[in-house]
Amino acid sequence: MTTEQEHTLRTVHQVTAERSNGALLSATQPYPDTLHLVVDKKAMRSVADGLVNQLQARFLISVGTDRRPLSGDFGIIHIFSLDRDHLYVLLESPIPEDDLRVDSITPVVPGADWAEREFQDAVGVHPEGHPDPRRLLLPDDWPEGIHPLRRDFPYNFRPPSVENVRPKMREAPTGTSVLPMGPFFPVLEEPAYWRLFVEGETIVGCDTRLFYNHRGIEKLGDSVLTYSQIPFLAERICGICGFIHSTCYCQAVEKAAGIQVPRRARYIRTIMLELERIHSHLLWLGIAGHIIGFETVLMQTWRIREPVMWLCEAISGNRKTYGMNTIGGLRRDLPDEVRPELLNTLATVEKETIAVRDAIIGDSVLRARTEGVGILTSESARSVCVVGPPARASGVAIDARIDHPYAAYDEVPPRIVTQETGDTWARVVVRVGELVESIRLVREALSALPVGPICAEITEEIPPGKVGISVVEAPRGEAIHFVMTGGDNRPYRWRVRAPTYANLQALPAAVMHGTIADVPITLGSLDPCFSCTERLETIDQRTRTVRIYSRAELLEMSRGNRLRGGAR
Amino acid sequence: MTQSFAVLLQCLLNVAIALLLSPLYEGVLRKVRAAIHSRIGPPITQPYWDLLKLLGKEDLRSRGGAVYASLPPLVLGSLLLLATLVPMGAAAPLSFAGDMIAVLYVAAMSSVLVMLNAFASGSPYAYVGSSREMMMALSVEPILAIALTVGAFKAGTLALGGMLAFQVQNGPSISMTIAGLAFFLALQAQSGKLPFDIAEADQEIMGGPLVEQSGPRLALLRWAMWTKQLVLAFLLVEVFLPWPRFGILPADLAASGVKVLVVLLLVEVVDVVNPRLRIDQAMGYYVRVALSSLSALAFAVIGK
């Protein structure tokens, strides 16, 4: 621990003591980089205010936990990051069962908006004084008073559905008309509903309804699956950055259980994470082109991207969803034979990416469509707690690879790419810069790849009641996994926050006073991440016959007789 | 009697060219677009199959009403009328003293009909698309008018046939070259190509005026769009680039057909290498084009 960190820790203690006004219940340091504060719930808002507005801590996410079987109460944890000092601060309050209310911190930390609405839906703790306490993730026909993440809620319970319910949306201000975008809209790959309030072509406000595809993954993690099964589910959280989620989950458990991951595994994780960033950024660049009608960019970047997918297939056996991560390291080594192919592909991709970059930078029409469009000021990026390229394009120099180093990033550090203007063009420039930087990182990690085991020997049970938090810099920004270990070989609570969760909250600010024509590209420039997996194709290696499984067949295979008739 | 029969025959020829060849041109353009994308692309005959498929589909309507249901045939009809007013290899079949004015009116009529149809469909996307269509029409159609006025001034007649004859006889001039160039730039927007396909803008307003169109009505509107780009390209090459002129209908028609293809290919390449502009940017661009095209009138006045 450096002296700077010690100094910061002292300041945190000091501010907490002042702000909590005697309501501080305990302050511990479970890991060198984590400070765990427990305060009485009446001091929650004041301490959060002190952390964010006095110490410039960044709000990450909130976790609501039903701890009735353990300690007879509920727990709300707000997680903060002190980026420069590489520290996490966990701010926890016990919530007694007979008074399920806590002061909302959203009035002092606007970025906590969705996080607080989410624990209200999931465990039923009401954030008092929240400016917009509407339902966030439960379906509109979900009955009141049923909270799916409570321990007494069975994972396979389905409340009866109700026809013709509509989301509670805000009324359009007088003098404006409503232009709906969604729930199905050409540039949205997944259902999402934006109500744009427009005067002519100008946007004067908007309202959203999301989470149409909420899959209840956290619930499965703490009720059905085991520690070592979850990485496979975590990888399926996202169809593009799956490896990021499985890595992030494994790291959280490894931290909670005190498992040391071998150096070679950490390097291979770094290589796979950066390959994922390369193909994700190329994919994004194509989609951004498509959104403004520039199909040539889409076609060419996806052509450049394809060899990267082949490379991932050569390494892991799959284009996507590699299934390589496990707790303690990896299940599959990086074969030495792919090394020449890897270097060749990187060289080609680098050359072609630079050609595309130069073409884009010289394109005056493209710049006319993106410069000064969808501006996210540095202040609003900070206040809404935006992450990843949108944050860096607004001059907020945060990057989980540097702020909370993991895998091998302490030994192969990335160079951070930032821009100051905060417009769509800046977000393009940041991502294209990161693309080239990622290629360098893969090369560097590959040349320094150590030999040795790829997975730690785990001899002891994972102890219950431990807390692990891990962040991974996904292509879209920082993904967060929080794990509280449980006794039955599975987490007691597993909390996931994908980066888009933070970034989408910035859209209303970014589209304000722009035109209808600018909304799709502004939304696209936040790179909202959607996943969709409906079918499976298998190829028999010997006979080369292809078989495609339908959704019904997959359901039959995965659920079998267990749920027949029970599932819809 | 024989004379009116000949006019009828010529009208039929122009209508047939416009109606039957426009999908073929579209098919060629799609191939070029695919080549620039590094794709193989659909067969050249694909637009015909698209039309057949759409014509055979169910006609889903967002609301009743005669305007909404009946306008697509009128849109296509207005463009076929335009085809009979434009010379294609020979003098325009329905030519009379003021046919330049008629051409401008009929060309504007098709956009107005599309707009009316969109307003009648009741979709907010169609409203936005129509208002964009209107703004584009207001900024692009003056350019067509200026360009044709230069021709009229030079030839001393409002008849397109007269302008054609004058051009053939006198060869290229500075004023007609500038006017032709302005017409070409306006053609990009008139044929609904990027960076000016703002009224349709799939990714922003889901096709704008087309969003509530389906089946046969969508087929007719697509067909009308392809016809419009073909007929206006013919107008461009016949009035501003009529050379060489053999005086034999099949040869002249073939020559014009090739020139039209070259013009449309250029339009397509501009489409493929550009993203879509915003409506305010597009209008600003066309105001500048219109102001520059006024210089052609000045050149025409001093006899260049």
A466-510 pLDDT, tens digit per residue, is: 999 999 999 999 999 999 999 889 999 999 999 989 998 999 999
> What six digits make up the tokens of A555?
């359901």
Across the interface, whether the CB atoms of B195 and A365 are under 8 A apart is answered yes
pLDDT band for position A190 (50/70/90)?
A: confident
Inter-chain contact A179–B273, Cβ cutoff 8 Å? Answer: no
Helix (H) or strand (E) holding A537: strand A536-539
Q: How close is the nearest chain B Cα to the Cα of A287, in Å?
A: 11
Is the confidence at residue B99, as pLDDT, over 90? no
pLDDT band at A526 (very low <50, low <70, confident <90, very high): confident
> Could you write out the DSSP letters of every residue in B141-198?
HHHHHHHHHHHHHHHT-S-HHHHHHHHHHH---HHHHHHHHHHHHHHHHHTT-TTSGG
Tens of pLDDT, residue by residue over A156-171, are 998 998 888 888 888 8
- Tokens for A469, please give them: 């938090």
Give residue A564's pLDDT.
46
Say if the Cβ atoms of A300 and B279 lie within 8 Å.
Answer: no
Q: pLDDT grade, residue A558 (50/70/90)?
A: low
Are B199 and B133 contacting, i.e. CB atoms less than 8 angstroms apart? yes
Residue B63: pLDDT over 80: no
Smallest CA-to-CA distance from B175 within B157, B151, B197 is with B151
Neighboring chain A residues of B278 at a CB cutoff of 8 Å = 369, 515, 517-518
Model confidence at A530: pLDDT above 90: no
Subunit contact A177:B124, Cβ cutoff 8 A: yes
Question: Cβ of A293 and B125 within 8 Å?
Answer: no
CA distance B209 to chain A (A): 15
Residues of B with CB below 8 A from A180's CB?
A: 124
Q: Which of B198, B202, B275 sits opposite A365 (nearest CB)?
A: B275
Q: How confident is the model at residue B76 (pLDDT cuts 50, 70, 90)?
A: very high
pLDDT score, position A430: 96
Chain A stretch 179-208, residues whose beta carbon is closer than 8 A to a beta carbon of chain B: 179-180, 185-187, 200-201
Whole-number pLDDT of residue A3: 87
Nearest CA in chain B to A287: B203
Mean pLDDT, residues B50-77: 88
pLDDT at B106: 93
| Interface of chain B toward chain A, CB-CB under 8 angstroms | 33, 36-39, 124-125, 128, 131, 194-195, 197-198, 201-206, 272-281
* Per-residue pLDDT at A534: 41
User: At A535, is the pLDDT very low, low, confident or very high (cuts 50, 70, 90)?
Assistant: very low
Chain segment A302-346, per-residue pLDDT in tens: 999 999 999 999 999 888 899 999 999 999 999 999 999 999 999
A–B interface: beta-carbon pairs under 8 A: 77
From CA A386, how far away is CA A379, in angstroms rounded? 10
A543 pLDDT more than 80:
no
Asked if the model's pLDDT at residue A189 lies above 90, the reply is: no
Instruction: Inform me whether the pLDDT recorded for A273 exceeds 50.
Output: yes
A185 residue type, one letter: F
Closest residue of chain B to A297, computed from CA coordinates:
B37
Instruction: Please report the pLDDT score of residue A566 as a whole number.
Output: 41
CA A343 – CA A527 distance, rounded (Å) = 28
Q: Work out whether the CA dihedral B83, B89, B93, B94 comes out positive or negative.
A: positive
3-state secondary structure of B263: helix
A1 and B CB contact within 8 Å: no
Give the nearest partner residue to B204 out of A200, A363, A516, using CB atoms.
A516
What integer pLDDT is reported at residue B287 of this predicted model? 95
Arithmetic mean of pLDDT over chain B = 91
Give the separation between CA A480 and CA A496, rounded to whole angstroms: 6
d(CA B182, nearest CA chain A) in Å: 19
CA dihedral A311, A313, A316, A317 (to 10 degrees): -160
Across the range A233-259, mean pLDDT stands at 93
Percent of chain A with pLDDT over 70: 94
Give tens-digit pLDDT for A78-133.
999 999 999 999 999 999 999 999 999 999 999 999 999 999 999 999 999 999 99
Cβ–Cβ gap B39/A365 under 8 Å: no
Q: Does the pLDDT of residue B206 top 90, yes or no?
A: no
**Which chain A positions have a beta carbon within 8 Å of B277's beta carbon?**
365, 368-369
Q: How far apart are CA A503 and CA A523, in angstroms?
A: 10
Average pLDDT, chain A: 90
**Distance of CA A272 to CAs A200, A399, B58, Å?**
47, 18, 49
Nearest C-alpha in B relative to A369? B277
Task: Measure the CA–CA gap between A464 and A450, rounded to whole angstroms.
Answer: 33
pLDDT at A565: 44
Kindly report the number of other CB atoms within 10 A of residue A37's CB atom: 24
> Nearest Cβ partner of A365 from B197, B198, B274?
B274
Please report residues of B whose CB lies closer than 8 A to that of A423: none
Option in A290, A296, A517 nearest B273 (CB): A296
Distance (Å) of CA A75 to CA A45, A102, A217, B85, B159: 15, 10, 20, 79, 85
Q: Which of B194, B201, B206 sits opposite A517 (nearest CB)?
A: B201
| Percent above pLDDT 90 for chain A | 71
Which residue does chain B place closest to A304, by CA atoms?
Answer: B38
Locate the chain A residue with the closest alpha carbon to B207: A186
- Residue A531: pLDDT band (50, 70, 90) is very low
Q: Is the pLDDT of residue B301 over 80?
A: yes
Query: Is A202:A511 a contact under the CB 8 Å cutoff?
Result: no
Q: How confident is the model at residue A532 (pLDDT cuts 50, 70, 90)?
A: very low
